[in-house]
């Protein structure tokens, strides 16, 4: 159990990239963070990085596959047992799927894998968080979903990822509506070209809508994490419903 003033967060996909950056930023601000992901060692690296930086809050590694209902239930049960409440879920785990594969060549298994992680996984975690936040005293909490620029406009050859990110917006809106009676706020952060392992190819050259390859600018993932922290620390009477954080010069406005 924690003190009555410490905030408790679950961050999925916390072993690398944006998830790791958000977990470290929250911990530095004093949050206790359950860092969830499919691989234990990267989660432990996140925890070690927080400790080495002298973070005011702890990072608790919890191995969990968000597409597995049993893993998700075990994750939130572990948070309840250790901390006794939940204040924030950052629904971040995601996969792009096969890169550069034309729509007509995408295997069913590849489509299903992206949907299972990006959409079903987000739903399962949101459902588990919603149940905890509704039942706890004081009631309430916040869910922040990682959308994407692709929640608005697609890239070429990205149908599975784009479809799930458009669906994330519907998930966010439904959570916002259904959470109102219980002081559960839900917002979405749409991120464009944060510098992570997942976006490394954008700096080398990526297919554009006109058929050409072009390198795209990226931004520091820490700037995304600072935005998530701002959203997370608002009082529950206030909510950032949708935020777009992107590399300033990336080809988003005017894409296509």
* 182 counts as catalytic: no
Q: Residues 83, 108, 161, 182: which is the catalytic one?
A: 161
What HEC string does the chain produce? CCCCCCCEEEEECCCCHHHHHHHHHHHHCCCEEEEEECCHHHHHHHHHHHHHCCCCCCEEEEECCCCCHHHHHHHHHHHHHHHCCCCEEEECCCCCCCCCCCHHHCCHHHHHHHHHHHHHHHHHHHHHHHHHHHHCCCCCEEEEEECCHHHCCCCCCCHHHHHHHHHHHHHHHHHHHHHHHHCEEEEEEEEECECCHHHHHHHHCEECCCCCEECCCCECHHHHHHHHHHHHCCCCCCCCCEEEEECCCCCCCCCC
Active site residues: 161
């Amino acid at each position: 159990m924690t003190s009555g003033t410490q905030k408790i967060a679950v961050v999925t996909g916390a072993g690398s990239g944006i998830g790791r950056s958000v977990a470290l930023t929250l911990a530095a601000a004093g949050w206790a963070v359950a860092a969830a992901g499919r691989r234990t060692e990267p989660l432990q690296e996140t925890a070690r990085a927080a400790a080495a930086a002298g973070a005011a809050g702890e990072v608790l590694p919890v191995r969990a596959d968000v597409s597995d209902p049993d893993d998700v239930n075990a994750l939130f049960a572990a948070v309840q047992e250790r901390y006794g409440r939940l204040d924030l879920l950052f629904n971040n785990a995601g996969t792009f799927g096969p890169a550069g594969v034309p729509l007509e060549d995408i295997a069913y298994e590849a489509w299903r894998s992206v949907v299972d992680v990006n959409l079903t996984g987000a739903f399962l975690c949101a459902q588990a968080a919603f149940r905890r936040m509704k039942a706890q005293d004081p009631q309430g909490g916040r869910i922040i979903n990682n959308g994407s620029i692709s929640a608005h406009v697609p890239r070429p050859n990205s149908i599975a990822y784009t479809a799930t990110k458009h669906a994330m917006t519907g998930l966010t809106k439904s959570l916002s509506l259904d959470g109102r009676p219980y002081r559960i706020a839900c917002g979405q952060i749409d991120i464009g070209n944060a510098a992570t392992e997942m976006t490394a190819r954008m700096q080398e050259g990526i297919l554009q809508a006109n058929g050409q390859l072009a390198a795209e600018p990226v931004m520091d993932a820490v700037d995304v994490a600072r935005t998530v922290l701002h959203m997370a620390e608002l009082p529950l009477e206030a909510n950032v419903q949708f935020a777009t954080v992107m590399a300033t010069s990336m080809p988003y406005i005017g894409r296509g």
